[in-house]
Structure 1
């Protein structure tokens, strides 16, 4: 019992500060660049396009999962809160019928995306393990809260639904329609965050590699990541302006 209380306490603490996790990764990201070989650039300063495409695809899959969740999520669903555990509705349809923590799965893939740019598979494994150890405690605290609040109905759901890796059968369609407006209001920040992290990560890699090689002629932004970042920045500013000045993204019950 004491161990469970300690894990729950750790989970509640990590839950409140989980938005800072990407910043905690940055020093280790830079350390890996400085101390080991990276594969974003070859010896001639040419970008590894395949690596960039893989990183983008992984990030977009994570974003797609978050879009799926946000488009069907009712108001005050577990997982949408940002500061403390709360939930007035237990959602076990749609994507929640095949995985209990789809938002955390989406977060993992989106944070993994810039890490892939290094092309350092050992660091990818270490990052994945660190992410799991971090979020394992958050999930424990969240599930303790939901078990206490929803009781047997929540317990039965957990017995048939995996926590992180989606199962391949048993999908139950959502009883709500997909709301494009609600999704945009919830996810425009995360999409901009994804493209920004990719853009900045690749510039950090290039800058450090060029410093080590003493060849600053290699410094130039990748066209794919630059265009992606530019388009997402325009999209972010437009949607943010509309969110702050209008009510067109407000949806009843969302």
Structure 2
């Protein structure tokens, strides 16, 4: 089983940028989002609140990781690779903090959609894929860094957050706001687009009533604004605006 998971991990490490959006699109299109839980709009609103809180927590965690000690997760030539063993910043709190952040975002998106099939299948599938990717990365790191990596694994949890280590692991480090924007604006943008598109899908699943028309227009306006802001940030990044890495202490 471990060998099969390693093969899956290697595959999805290489093609995750293409596979993950496709999987989400298929799940979301296959079944419409919920509009009420057990006939209760109040429960639906609480569910959405929890979902949005999870998404926000995931984005914040990713920002903390990138702001303190960012490492390139794309590997080398789309293969698992690491030049150094990074153990400071949020990597002193969790061995896979970016993946934990991603899972919070994905599960939050699935929960926001609300259909039980999407929530269960999506969460389990992405959890399995990330575990496979982690196995592939761990095998590479263990082979390259040996006992140093073994000691790191003994001290830092794979998925949990050892918050008691945060102060020591970030001591003397500065939080880099510009790097967060430059490196993670696309994740923030795609997450907002997914939320807005899902909400619009919910409103327009059958037909848009006169009462829902204004809300639908607001959603479209927000979607256009997110796309425009994303384009602006991308343009500024190409012009080198974020090259000067500004830190906040």
**Alignment of 1:149 onto 2:144:** yes
**Alignment of 1:73 onto 2:46:** no
SS at match of 1:88: coil
Question: Could you tell me how far apart the structure 1 residues matched to 2:42 and 2:49 are?
Answer: 15
**Alignment of 1:190 onto 2:187:** yes
Question: Could you tell me how far apart the structure 2 residues matched to 1:40 and 1:85 are?
Answer: 43
Question: 2:55–2:108: 8 Å Cα contact kept in structure 1?
Answer: yes
Question: Could you tell me how far apart the structure 1 residues matched to 2:173 and 2:195 are?
Answer: 33
TM-score of the pair, normalised by structure 2: 0.81
Equivalent position to 1:63, from 59, 65, 70: 59
Q: How does 1:28-43 map to 2 (within 5 A)?
A: 28-33=27-32, 38-39=34-35
Question: 2:110–2:119: 8 Å Cα contact kept in structure 1?
Answer: yes
| Greater per-residue helix proportion | 2
In the alignment, what sits opposite 1:91? 86
In the alignment, what sits opposite 1:13? 11
Question: Could you tell me how far apart the structure 1 residues matched to 2:218 and 2:96 are?
Answer: 31
SS at match of 1:182: helix
- Shift of the 132–62 alpha-carbon distance from structure 1 to 2, 3 Å rule, reads same
- Shift of the 142–194 alpha-carbon distance from structure 1 to 2, 3 Å rule, reads same
- Report deviation, 1:41: 9.3
The count of aligned residue pairs is 240
Question: Could you tell me how far apart the structure 2 residues matched to 1:62 and 1:81 are?
Answer: 22
Question: 1:47–1:222: 8 Å Cα contact kept in structure 2?
Answer: no
SS at match of 2:175: coil
- Report deviation, 1:120: 3.6
Equivalent position to 2:227, from 228, 233, 239: 233
Question: Could you tell me how far apart the structure 1 residues matched to 2:36 and 2:156 are?
Answer: 38
Where does the alignment leave 5 or more consecutive residues of structure 1 unmatched? none
- Shift of the 52–166 alpha-carbon distance from structure 1 to 2, 3 Å rule, reads same
In the alignment, what sits opposite 1:23? 22
- 1:197-217 deviations in Å (ceiling 9; x for gaps): 111122223333x1xxxx442
TM-score of the pair, normalised by structure 1: 0.79
Where does the alignment leave 5 or more consecutive residues of structure 2 unmatched? none
- 1:37-69 deviations in Å (ceiling 9; x for gaps): 8235998x9995444433322211111111111
